Amino acid sequence: MRVVLHTGKGGVGKTTVSCATAVACARRGLRTLLLSTDPAHSVADVLDVPVSGDPEPVPGQPDLWAAQVDTRHRFEESWAQIRAYLVGVLAARGMAEVQAEELTVLPGAEEVVALLELRRLAASGRFDVIVVDCAPTGETLRLLALPETIGFYAGRLLGAPQRMLRSLAATFTGVPGSAPSAAVRDAVGELLTELMAARALLADPQVTGIRLVLTPERVVIAEARRLFTALSLHGFTVEGATINRVLPPKAGGEFLRGQRAAQREALVHVRESFAGLTVRRVPMVAREPVGVAALAELADEIFAADDPLARTTEPTHIQVEGADGRYQLALPLPLVDKGDLALSRSGDDLVVTVGDVRRRMALPSVLRRCTVGGARFDGGRLLVEFVADPDLWPATLRARVLSETDGGSPSGLVSQTRSDDDRPADRLVGA
């Protein structure tokens, strides 16, 4: 089972590339689903066939199905109990039921429904490949980061789904007895479980790969670089970049020659930015590729005889190495300048911020008993050093080790005084 997500700046032809990739997979006999999570839902326009919320065969291409996430229908279907509970709470506060119905479509609901639908279709076993036409850059990042964010706030700040719902009820009604039913609590718990399962699916490099779609333009390339960094920070595997609308070498005219020269410079920048990734070019064609036949021709241009699911890069993931009280956490962070990075420790979490993107990562148990000793960049990776700190050990372990060392500091485990876990990045990241 493979999941391939396409994302990029709006207007770069992401939907067309997604459709052509899905056609290429289906032509190789793979049961392929083309799924749109983009609210614009342009897949039907590019395929030139109607597309609904449920997977339906695409006429003219065996082994190809298409669907677009029907947010409203899935929301009402999956969240019926939760929504009914919230509507009742709001109505008890004096709000009209029609208004309450509207307010239960909460911010982020579209992303939640899209994640649950993708996970449901992947788990169905009906398809060998799911090609996802994602929303533009910012929406895609919110979509992929959502499960971890919700999991953090539900688990750390509110304790559990039951407490979260009781807090909501008390806030809106002021009545302690308006706690949710067991069915509602179970529904919320199941929702959180499903979201974390979706996160695991998307973060599994053996299953899911993300492909950036861009055009050879400076502004577009700059956004794609930032997206590459942000996706890597959140633990997702970027396996390739597709450069769309590349002018053919024989395109004539003074105007086109000038454009071609600008594209040549941009293509060099792309190769330098995404070194190590599979980079494919999509030539600009005279007519917009619409319909299965035109998309099949475009697929031949993109992939030729290559496997459309082939990956040439090793999956990237967080690694922890070390022993004897000294450890190193390696986090892939391509295309990052030291000045853009902020790094801090908050309890059992490591907080990494790059520009306006932040990820809060729960540390492995062995690192929770350490202090941060420093950090540096090396070959597109952030290396964070940890040193064991007996003050953070369980009391029984600390007492045993100290007794074995005659009451002194455990030899070889601590070589510096305890550091402040919330030091700013400029003191943690070395040159």
The CATH code of the domain that includes 269 is: 3.40.50.300
Question: Do 35 and 145 belong to one domain?
Answer: yes
Q: Are residues 178 and 263 in the same domain?
A: yes
Q: Which of 157-166, 173-182, 252-261 has the highest mean pLDDT?
A: 252-261
What share of the chain in percent tops pLDDT 90?
29
User: Quick one: 280 and 380 in the same domain?
Assistant: no
Whether 240 and 346 map to the same domain: the answer is: no
pLDDT at 426: 37
The pLDDT of residue 425 is: 39
Q: Are residues 75 and 202 in the same domain?
A: yes
Spatial contact of 235 and 318, defined as CB atoms under 8 Å apart: yes
Does residue 124 belong to any structural domain of this protein?
A: yes
Residues in CB range of 429: below 8 A, 6 or more apart: 338, 341, 343, 374, 375, 376, 377, 382
124 shares its domain with 191: yes
Q: Which among 303, 327, 348 is the end of a domain?
A: 303
Is 311 within the bounds of a domain? no
Q: Is the pTM of the predicted complex or chain greater than 0.85?
A: no
Pairing of strands 357-362, 349-354: antiparallel
The residue among 167 and 373 whose pLDDT is bigger is 373
Count the Cβ atoms, other than its own, within 10 Å of residue 158: 15
Q: What is the pLDDT of residues 41-93, one digit of tens each?
A: 789 999 999 999 899 999 999 999 999 987 767 666 666 656 666 666 556 65
Specify whether 190 is located in the same domain as 283: yes
Co-location of 32 and 180 in the same domain: yes
Query: Is 326's pLDDT higher than 80?
Result: yes
Per-residue pLDDT band for 24 (boundaries 50, 70, 90) equals very high
Quickly tell me which residue has 């794609």 as its tokens.
224
- Whether residue 192 sits in one domain with residue 114: yes
Residue 314 lies in a domain: no
> Residue 355's domain spans which residues?
319-428
Give the burial class of 219: count Cβ atoms within 10 A of its Cβ; 0-12 exposed, 13-18 middle, 19 or more buried: exposed
Query: What's the count of helices (H) and strands (E) in the chain, helices before strands?
Result: 15, 15
Most confident of 4-8, 257-261, 281-285, 394-398: 4-8
Identify the top-confidence range among 51-65, 183-197, 331-345, 349-363.
51-65
Residues 6+ apart with CB under 8 A from 378: none
**What is the average per-residue pLDDT within 340-365?**
84
Query: How is residue 329 written in tokens?
Result: 């956490």
Among the listed ranges 380-384, 405-409, 419-423, which one has the minimum average pLDDT value? 419-423
In terms of domains, do 286 and 379 share one?
no
- The phi, psi pair for 155, rounded to 5°, reads -80, -35
Same domain membership, residue 286 and residue 422: no
Position 407 in a domain: yes
Contact residues for 37 (Cβ-Cβ < 8 A; gap 6+): 68, 69, 114, 117, 118, 132, 133, 134, 135, 143
Q: How many domains does the chain have?
A: 2
CATH of residue 348: 2.60.40.790
| pLDDT for the residue 295 | 94
Q: Are 324 and 280 members of one domain?
A: no
- For residues 211 and 303, give the distance between their C-alpha atoms in angstroms, rounded to a whole number: 14
The mean per-residue pLDDT over the stretch 190-212 comes to 84
